[in-house]
Structure 1
Amino acid sequence: MVTPPPGSPAGPGQPGTHLTHGAHPHVVPRHPRLDPLADRYAARTHGMKSSEIRALFSVVSRPEVVSLAGGMPAVTALPLDAVGLMIGDLVSGMGAQTLQYGSGQGDPRLRERICDVMALEGITDASASEVVVTVGSQQGLDLVTRVFVDPGDVILAEGPSYVGALGVFQAAQARVRHVAMDEHGLIPEALEEALADCRANGDRVKFLYTVPNFHNPAGVTLSEPRREAVMALAEQHDLLIIEDNPYGLLGFEHEPLRALRARNSQRVIYLGSFSKTFSPGLRVGWVLAPLAVREKLVLATEAQVLCPPSLTQYAVARYLDTQPWREQIKTFTELYRERRDATLESLAALMPAGTAWTKPEGGFYVWLKLPAGLDAKLMQPRAVAAHVAYVPGIGFFADGNGQEYMRLSYCYPEPDQIREGVRRLARVVEAELDLHSTFDKVDTGTFRAVRGTPGREAERIVGPANSDTYEDPR
């Protein structure tokens, strides 16, 4: 064994060692016995952390807790008997195909039907050859990021942004620059400012990631004038856009808006999913991309999972071929509208002054802002103790912001459960406000102490009892 010379860094695996690979430092923990492989992990693993949503799973599964946290679709609204028979027929009649390996790009019949689905949002020029089937749109986002992003690249994303996307970007060692949004979606002027700042700083912007319809978590929708403005900025600044659109067909107030991809086939890569309009358990999504990008996505898929699961692809294709899926989407939409209304009515009736929230026109989520001074993350344990769960807003920002926000999901609980959950949450918020009001008004007085060192005259100090500073009486 070679001993490092004096003054040199400790050898690999020694406490305090700093190993570097390019611009990414690797710090070996001081207690390697807790994880004997700690010094072997790639630098990209250092940014990985559990999402705020996954961390709640053990809590929301308790029957006494009303969960306004996870965005779980109401799959019980499906004709489960018909779906079960359909899948059984697939295995018994086409088992040689459905249980076998498939294409890395995905089943051709399913890709054709995906083009029919996208046509509902104005994407009428898509070809099945441009579609790559993925294991949910989450894999699609991961593939796109792998293909385009190098460590240190900048990704523009709305603030707040989908927590699953932030996890993908962290794993790719990208830097996320948030772009402000309001009740009409992403603000084009803020996007232009972000692009200008990045250009001035010499940052390499790879793409804008956006959820334009019924945003997760904000619940807002990008307005038609802003869609045109965003596309104009993309042309002006040679900007690639990743359009993530799992909720676009679940609107309550109007027909689906024309997708960004329908406006420019080369500037926009589109991510879609059947998780919200059919079943999340089947894990079927897709990417629509120009042919050159498609080739790289297929290669990345084959390196990652070889091919998406055949059985679930055939199941979705058969569902689209044989079941009234458009009517089923309408059923989902009416169900979610009722639950959205129960949420908004309860918030208006019960939440204390100073609370504000978005009013979604579709999708699954309400984005709530707490009264000034409250922190949703710090308040979360008291909410769980009151048997109600939500997702703190801090999880939807890459820069540590969002403490005063929370995401409420209305898609899964029944309306009566939603009303009870909001009632419990309102009581927690009121109690938190009372605590802040009480302690803000308390005169905590002053402390008096003596400070000195052996052999020297003692020094008398005085200061407020709730502070670590003091006043010098001299």
Structure 2
Amino acid sequence: MTPDAPTPRRPTYAARAERFHPSGVRSVFDIAMQPGMISLAGGSPDLAALPRDVVAGLAVGVLRDREVDALQYQPAQGLAGTIEAIREVMRAEGVEAGPERIQVTAGSQMGLQAITTLLADPGDTVLAEAPTYVGALSIFGGLEAEVAQVDIDEDGMIPAALEETIARVRASGSRIPFLYTVPTFGNPSGATLGEERRDAVVEICRREGILIVEDNPYGMLAFDDAGDTRSARTTLYARDPENVVYLGSFSKIFSPGVRVGWVAAPVELRARVQLVVEAMTIHASVPGQLLAERFVTQTDWRAHVRRSTAVYRDRRDALMAALERHMPAGTTWTHPRGGFFTVVTLPDGTPSDGLLDAAIAARVVYVPGSAFMADGSREDTVRLAFSFEPEERLAEGARRLAEAVRSLSP
């Protein structure tokens, strides 16, 4: 007689487990992979521009030259050569940071998680743009922090709105551990913080004793720099390195798959970030670090960034033209000067319920704008990514999206 199989035991989850929600981007990832689907959803770089034979040679060289050293435990701060390569990338953006300020991470997402772990207690309120990066919202929520979002426009965060938000949060009795911002070619908005506003935001946060966490994955992808790899705007970190933490990444200028990013921070904070990295992963991938290092030191990486940026600029132009041609009257959208994204605001009265289903039925997928708001608002907006699909598919995707919007219009 076969004994009854034991009843599976359901884990007893921590209360914070309920604060982790599916990512608005990841939730449509499988849909985006369906045959015939045009994806305006994920902000993936187009790796077709990579010199793949060269990269393959770099990968072989990593294992040939470093032998087992490339597969062994290494210092938690990061490899010295990788840190020097990171410093070169930052110098290309006009930023100087000593090696003692650099912590290598498994992507900038890990850096943000480490910073939030160190600085935000449960119930604290992190400030961020409205809208903001969905991955940041996942981190803040998962670590039991609240989020207060600050209004932006085409020129980025509005300083007066930042001051008002600070006053409102403090009046509620909540502590503000830091301001999180993507000031250059933001995700999802595509907006770029203007120079005068950058000065104002840095000054407000310095005066109010609030640390700034500047996430800058897109800064080199500037469409109006005439081939220069520098950011279109001076970083906040360069303005105040003692009160700004900088998050950088190789994901958009090289490869997201290598999972190598970094934190640049005041020395004492950087050392504490290292302790969190050690607790989370011990250190970032050694082969990934070596590959990123060699990409910077053994290739014309700036030329690669220029080529990639030219591709993204042409794709932005194709999407903007298609939106102008196909979207119904009353539709508006941001006009990014770099990066991967635009946010489209639908005409008044367009029902948001059912739009994603209608778009998928038309064989196009996007990310709803509500995914980038902590309170789930902005249901009348959608984020479109133009980085991955070629120009003719972007144009067709815009046409299909317009068809879906019209199918629901009263």
User: What TM-score, normalized by structure 2, do the two folds share?
Assistant: 0.96
2:386/2:394 contact within 8 Å kept: yes
Counterpart mapping for 1:51-70 below 5 A: 51-70=23-42
8 Å Cα contact 2:351-2:408 kept in structure 1 = no
Unaligned runs of 5+ in 1: 1-32, 437-474
Indicate yes or no: 2:387 matched with 1:387.
no
2:71 matches 1:118 = no
Select the residue among 302, 305, 308 that pairs with 2:281: 305
Cα distance 1:301–1:383, how it changes in 2: closer, same or farther (>3 A)? same
Which structure would you say has the larger Rg? 1
Question: Which moves more between the two structures, 194-203 or 387-396?
Answer: 194-203
Deviations for 1:427-451, whole angstroms, at most 9, x for unmatched residues? 1111111xx2xxxxxxxxxxxxxxx
Q: State the secondary structure of the residue aligned to 1:115.
A: helix
Query: Which of the numbers 94, 105, 113 marks the counterpart of 1:142?
Result: 113
TM-score relative to the length of structure 1: 0.83
The corresponding residue for 2:51 is 79
Is structure 2 residue 140 aligned with structure 1 residue 159? no
Aligned 8 A contact 1:376 1:393 in 2: no
CA distance in 1, matches of 2:275, 2:286: 18
Q: What is the match of residue 203 of structure 1?
A: 174
> RCO (CA 8 Å, sep 6+): is it higher in 1 or 2?
2
8 A Cα contact 2:247 2:261, kept in partner: yes
Give 1:76 deviation, angstroms: 1.2
Query: Residue 261 of structure 1: SS of its match in structure 2?
Result: helix
Could you tell me which residue of structure 2 aligns to residue 425 of structure 1?
401
CA distance in structure 1 between the aligned counterparts of 2:8 and 2:353, rounded to whole angstroms: 29
Q: Among residues 384, 389, 403, which one is paired with 1:413 in the alignment?
A: 389
Q: Which residue of 1 aligns with 2:3?
A: none
Residue 34 of structure 1 and its aligned partner are, at CA, apart by 10
Aligned equivalents of 2:140 and 2:379: distance in 1? 21
Give 1:321's aligned residue: 297
Q: Distance in 1 between matches of 2:7 and 2:123?
A: 30
| Whole-angstrom CA distance in 1 between matches of 2:137 and 2:108 | 14
**Match status 1:245 vs 2:245:** no
- 1:16-415 map, 5 Å: 36-38=9-11, 40-124=12-96, 126-254=97-225, 255-256=230-231, 257-376=233-352, 378-415=354-391
Q: 1:268 Cα deviation (Å)? A: 0.2
How many Å apart are 1:232 and its aligned residue?
1.1
Counterpart CA distance in 2 for 1:375 and 1:134 is 42
Q: What residue is the counterpart of 1:4 in the other structure?
A: none
Query: 3-state DSSP class of the match of 1:89?
Result: helix
Aligned residues: 400
- In structure 2, relative to structure 1, the CA distance for the partners of 1:375 and 1:325 (3 Å cut) is farther
| SS at 1:205 equivalent | coil
Deviations 1:222-250 (A, max 9, x none): 00010001011012111100000000000
Moved segments of 4+, more than 6 Å: none
CA distance in 2, matches of 1:90, 1:206: 40
Q: Deviations over 1:355-396 (max 9, x none)?
A: 000000000001000011224453101100110000001100
Aligned letter for 2:10? L
Q: What do the CA deviations read for 1:133-185 (whole angstroms, capped 9, x no partner)? A: 00010101101111111100000000101000000000110000010000100
- The 2-side partners of 1:88 and 1:119 are apart by 28
* 3-state SS of 2:354 partner: helix
C-alpha displacement of 1:402: 1.4
SS at match of 1:217: coil
| Contact kept? 1:112, 1:127, Cα under 8 Å | no
Change (3 A) 1:60 1:34: farther
Q: 1: distance between equivalents of 2:117 and 2:7? A: 31
